[in-house]
Structure 1
């Protein structure tokens, strides 16, 4: 692959990676709050919050890569 082809491929990986990382962190955060010291049931809220942060970070990283193209 050439340099620009590889950079274009990383745009999709940035989007998918940001969403997957946000979901994983949100799930772990909710699980930690429910089973940890606090015993607070926050299941959908942490997941949704970090999912949105993952989408924003994926789009931001993809935008930066697209500017380099």
Structure 2
């Protein structure tokens, strides 16, 4: 009577553990890439909207380049504010996951 697992069973368990670990790492990597992409889109879109509004203001009020400059700065500030909000929400979620 041998209570030891055979080599095939051991090999299957090792492979399953390895596959689970690799899948978890790939999932984490995909999550990080999508997070970075989201942050980039937040900043770029806010700046693009600010520039577009600035160009329209300059065109209709003939205040070149002051409208563009002002709305570029406002768009940049809005983009970084959005990123700050996202980061704060993620930090809050991670703290609540750690605490319980």
TM bucket (normalised to shorter chain) is 0.7 to 0.9
Aligned counterpart, 2:77: 56
User: TM-score normalized by structure 1?
Assistant: 0.75
- Kindly tell me the number of residue pairs found equivalent between the two proteins: 62
User: TM-score normalized by structure 2?
Assistant: 0.54
Pair 1:27-2:48 in alignment? no
Which structure is higher in RCO with an 8 Å CA cutoff and minimum separation 6? 1
Unaligned runs of 5+ in 1: 35-41
2:69 is paired with a residue whose SS is: helix
Unaligned runs of 5+ in 2: 1-29, 91-100
1:43 is paired with a residue whose SS is: coil
**Higher Cα radius of gyration:** 2
Cα RMSD for the two superposed structures = 1.9
Pair 1:66-2:94 in alignment? no
